[in-house]
Amino acid sequence: MGNLLRILSDKSHQPKVDFYLDFEGASPRDDEKEVYAEVEVVLESAKSILAELRTYEGASDDIRQAIQNPSDEAMQQKAWAAVSPSVLKLKNYFDYSASIERIIPKLLGYLTSSSDSVLRRLEEHQAIAKQLAHILQFTLSFDDMKMTNPAIQNDFSYYRRTQSRMRMDGQSAEVVSNEMANRMSLFYANPTPMLKTVSDSTSKFVEENKEIPLENTADILGTLAELCRTMIDTPAYRDRFQSTETVLFCLQVMVGNIILYDHTQPAGVFCKKSTIDVRQCVKLLRDTQEEIPAQQGAIESLINALRYTTKHLNDETTPKQFKQLLA
């Protein structure tokens, strides 16, 4: 591969990760091609799902009218007809989460199984690391849009209430099966459902592969976060970006790894033993906000993700400096 340049140690507890991972052009090795192709099929749907979710309007007006006029059967039917297509969309998103859950262990298997150093593993499997990065980018984007669009939860809540009432009245009321609706309810009740999917899949991978040292998974997440920061901070690396969007992509992947690390490591990301320098990562986010005004909103969403979707930020044991940093 030839991209591994050097590893420098600073005076802190954390080694400085200093190499270039080609997120834009890394290609799979021969022994990766089967899994890479499988993951690419999953990733191909990510853009269309995000585009659809970005314009998701739901059936809020029709639902409101139906609730305000419970005896008007025409309005009830209109609301049902309006919400049914939305439920099918939500089922599609839920089904997609199962695809994400299925491929996470396959990617982690490549990145954690070897006894080589974490840097060597990333150098050897850059195409696999790139795919994991794209999954984390999708996860953050999906959850951000889900959290900021109340119509998603409102539509499904109305569907469940109406489905129950129609059943009691002896009417046919099944856009999705009752079992599926129950599973979807659990999924959408979580404020960050895709993150939970990725986190649970990662934890399951660790639990089912006890022959792989626990720290291997933590090292991959921590190193990916740190190398994203380094690549943006280092002019020689940043100049190699072919697209202006790669800066934002690296920030998204950095934040995604911080959050996933915090959810899957017992002590979290804010403890002294964490391999991620959260303070420097947040500083980079704020500096990039000032540097690229057009990305201010997108970067603020990433800072909010650290504020509201990390697991250990508000723990009593978390140093106050982190809470103040993200206040």
103-160 pLDDT tens trace:
999 999 999 998 888 999 999 999 999 999 999 999 999 999 999 999 999 999 999 9
Q: What is the pLDDT of residue 214?
A: 85
Q: Mean pLDDT throughout 218-243?
A: 94
- The token pair at 98 is 């199962």
Q: What is the pLDDT of residue 16?
A: 58
What is the C-alpha to C-alpha distance for residues 106 and 87, in angstroms, rounded to an integer? 30
What burial class does residue 209 get, using C-beta atoms within 10 Å of its C-beta: 0-12 exposed, 13-18 middle, 19+ buried? middle
Q: Mean pLDDT throughout 41-52?
A: 96
Q: How far is CA 59 from CA 45, 67, 69, 173, 183, in A?
A: 24, 12, 16, 17, 21
Q: What is the pLDDT of residue 115?
A: 85
Asked which of 6-15, 41-50, 279-288 is least confident by mean pLDDT, the reply is 6-15
Residue 235 has pLDDT above 50, yes or no: yes
What is the C-alpha to C-alpha distance for residues 151 and 303, in angstroms, rounded to an integer? 24
Q: Mean pLDDT throughout 169-180?
A: 78
Contact 105, 204 (CB under 8 A): yes
Contact 122, 111 (CB under 8 A): yes
> CB pairs under 8 A, 24+ apart, for 273-279?
273/13, 274/222, 275/14, 275/218, 275/219, 275/222, 275/223, 275/226, 276/14, 276/222, 276/225, 276/226, 277/12, 277/14, 277/226, 277/229, 278/306, 278/322, 278/325, 279/321, 279/322, 279/325
pLDDT band at residue 216 using 50, 70 and 90 as cut-offs: very high
- The token pair at 112 is 């954690």
The listed range with the strongest mean pLDDT (12-21, 72-81, 170-179) is 72-81
Amino acid at 182: N
Q: What is the pLDDT of residue 311?
A: 94
Q: What is the pLDDT of residue 202?
A: 95
Neighbour-count burial for 277-286, b at 16+ CB within 10 Å, e otherwise: bbeebbebbe
Which are the contacts of 282, defined by CB distance < 8 A and separation ≥ 6?
303, 306, 325, 326
pLDDT digits (tens, 9 = 90+) for 2-24: 343 333 233 343 445 778 999 99
Percent of the chain, pLDDT > 70?
A: 93
Q: What is the pLDDT of residue 41?
A: 96
Which are the contacts of 101, defined by CB distance < 8 A and separation ≥ 6?
197, 198, 200, 201
What is the C-alpha to C-alpha distance for residues 194 and 14, in angstroms, rounded to an integer? 30
The DSSP result for 202-215, as a single string, is HHHHHHH-TTS-HH
> Maximum distance among all alpha carbons in the chain?
72
What burial class does residue 271 get, using C-beta atoms within 10 Å of its C-beta: 0-12 exposed, 13-18 middle, 19+ buried? middle
What is the C-alpha to C-alpha distance for residues 86 and 224, in angstroms, rounded to an integer? 36
Residue 248 has pLDDT above 90, yes or no: yes
What is the C-alpha to C-alpha distance for residues 204 and 239, in angstroms, rounded to an integer? 38
Q: What is the pLDDT of residue 1?
A: 38
pLDDT band at residue 173 using 50, 70 and 90 as cut-offs: low
Residue 299 has pLDDT above 90, yes or no: yes
